[in-house]
Amino acid sequence: MSANERDYAALGVAARLAEDYRREVAAAPRNPTASYAEILAKFDAPVPADGSDAVAVIEELAKGARDGLRPIVAPRFYGWVNGHSHLAGVAADWLTSAWGQNCAGIPMTPAGAAVEAVAARWLLELLDLPSECSVGLVSGATIANFVGLAAARGELLRRQGWDVEADGLYGAPPLRILIGADAHTTVFSGLRYLGLGAKRAELIATDALGRMLSSDLERALKASSDPAIVIGQSGQINTGVSDPFGEMVPMVRAAGGWLHVDGAFGLWARASAEHRHLTDGIEGCDSWATDGHKWLQTPYDCGFTIVRHEEAHRRAMDIDASYLSKANGTERHPGAYVPELSRRSRGFAAWAMMKRLGRSGIAEMVDRDVLIAGLLASGIAGIAGVVVINKPELNQFVVRFGSDLGGEESDRLTRATIDRIQQDAIAFMGTAMWRGRWVMRVSVCSIATTEDDVRLTIEAVRSAWEAVQAEL
Ligand SMILES: Cc1ncc(COP(=O)(O)O)c(C=O)c1O
C-alpha cells in the first residue's frame, strides 16, 4: 500500500510540531515534568492489532513525549557535551529520511555518496588535517574511536606479517595499548569490541587536569619493543584539555607505534585560529575520532573517523559483495570506511551544517563558546564558598560547592546544588566524579548559547547554592 494523503499530511504536521517545539524551548526551556516511568506508562500498550491514521500517530507521539523531553537544544543547557541539533541540519536530515537514502554505496545513492565525499573533504580542511586522510561517517565518536582503533590494530599487526582481518587475533603477535588515565569510557568500549581487552590497556599517568604526561608515555614506550597503539585525547570531558601531541607524535613514530586521538569535541579547536594552538602537533597522528553532533551542531547522529593510512582504514572496514557493485571502483566508496552496510546518508546534514555556518561561522561559534565558558567559570568562582577547579582553556570546567567543609559534606552539597539548579530550570548543569569527588560539570558546546546567558546562568548557580546553604 503506498502513502495515502494522510501519510503525506503527517510530514506537514511533524514540521509544524517541530517548529512549535523549537520556538518554545528557545524562549522558555522547561525541564521534563514527566518521569521515564510516566512516559513509559503512556506508550506501553499492547502491539496494535491494526494500523492507525498517520497524522494521529504523529500527534500522539508528540503529545505523549512532550513532557519527557529534556531541553538539550536550549541556550543554557550545559549538562553534557551536546550540540544544538541546528535547524539547518535538522532540515537536511528530514530530507535524508524522506528521500530514504541508504549510503551503502554509490549505485544506491549517487547523491548521498557524492555529498558525503565533499563533506569529508571539507572536514579535513576545516580541521586542518592532512588531505590524504580517509574519512568515514559514523554514528558518533564511540564508533569513530572503534574504527580508528580497528585500522590501528590491522596495520600494526600487518607490519609484523599478520593479517588480522583474515586470521583474527588467535595466535597473533603481541600488541600493546597505551592510554591516558583520564581517557573517555567509550574508548575502552572500542578496545572491548576489538578483542584488545579494556583491562589489558596500560594506563599512562596524567597531570592534575587529565593531560597525558609525555615523560610517562616515553618510559612506557621504552619498556618494550612490542608495537603500541597509543590513544591520546583532545578535549578531556571534565577539563577540556588536550594531550601534548607535539611531544607525543615523535615518540610514537620513533617507537613504530600508531597514535590515535579521541577528539570528540576538542578537535574542533582547530577550526579556530585563536584556539588551534591547543592541539598543536595533532596533525602528525595516525587516526582521529570526532563528532558532528557536538561542535558542528548536526542533529544526532553524526561522527567522523579520520585515518591517515587509507589502505589500513579500508582493510579494516571495507564490505564487498557482487550485488554491491561499487560504481567504477575509482570513486570514494562510502561503505569502505564504516562498520555498517545500510545507514542513513549522514553526509547531507554534515554538508548542510558546514555550508550553513561556513569556516567563519564555525570558528566564531567555537571562540564564543570558549569565551562563555571562561566568563561562566570566573563568575561562578566569585560566589563565596564555590571552587572552580579548572580555569577552562576550552569549553569544559568543573566546580565544587563548600569544599572547605570536608570531602563528604562537600560531595553532598555539590550534588544538592546541582539538583537545585536543575529544578529551577534556568540552566541545566551536569554531575560527574573528578579525582574521586563529585563535581558540577559545565559544558559549553552550543551555538545557541550567547553572552546574554552568562549573567542568568551565574545567578541561577548563586541562588541554588544560597538555597542549599539556607537548609544547612
Ligand atoms: C571525549 C569523548 N569521547 C567520546 C565520546 C563519545 O561520543 P559519542 O557519544 O558521540 O559516541 C564523548 C561523548 O561525550 C566524548 O566527550
Which whole number is the average pLDDT over 18-33?
A: 91
pLDDT at 317: 96
208 CB-contact burial (10 Å; exposed 0-12 / middle 13-18 / buried 19+): exposed
User: Is 233 in contact with 242 (CB distance < 8 Å)?
Assistant: yes
- Cell numbers given for 388: 572552580
pTM value is 0.96
Query: Looking at 182-186, 333-337, 404-408, which range is the least confident one?
Result: 404-408
Which whole number is the average pLDDT over 343-352?
A: 97
76-107 tens-digit pLDDT: 999 999 999 999 999 999 999 999 999 999 99
The backbone region for 297, taken as left when phi is positive above 0, alpha when psi lies in -120 to 50, beta otherwise, is left
Q: Locate all alpha helices (DSSP H) within 242-346, ordered by sequence.
A: 245-254, 310-317
Nearest to 233 by CA among 289, 151, 293, 302: 289
Which whole number is the average pLDDT over 420-428?
A: 92
Share of the chain above pLDDT 70, in %: 98
Q: For residue 9, how far is the Cα from the chain centroid?
A: 34
- Cell numbers given for 161: 606479517
pLDDT at 425: 87
Question: Whole-angstrom Cα distance, residue 239 to residue 242?
Answer: 9
Judged by DSSP in three states, 78 sits in strand
Which whole number is the average pLDDT over 381-396?
A: 96
Question: Whole-angstrom Cα distance, residue 147 to residue 142?
Answer: 9
pLDDT of 1 above 60 = no
Q: Ligand 1 pocket: which of 186, 239, 295, 445 to mutate (most atoms <8 Å of CB)?
A: 186
Q: Which atom of ligand 1 is nearest to the CA of 301?
A: 10
pLDDT of 216 above 80 = yes
Q: Which residue's alpha carbon is nearest to atom 14 within ligand 1?
A: 81
Q: For residue 347, how far is the Cα from the chain centroid?
A: 16
Interstrand relation of 386-388 and 176-180 (parallel, antiparallel or unpaired): unpaired
Alpha carbon of 304 to ligand 1 centroid (Å): 11
pLDDT at 20: 97
User: Is 286 in contact with 259 (CB distance < 8 Å)?
Assistant: yes
- E strands, 275-332, where? 287-291, 303-307
pLDDT at 328: 62
Give kind and range of the element (H or E) at residue 21. Answer: helix 5-27
267 CB-contact burial (10 Å; exposed 0-12 / middle 13-18 / buried 19+): buried
Q: How far apart are the first and last CA of the chain?
A: 65
Alpha carbon of 444 to ligand 1 centroid (Å): 15
Using 50, 70 and 90 to split pLDDT, how confident is the model at 330? confident
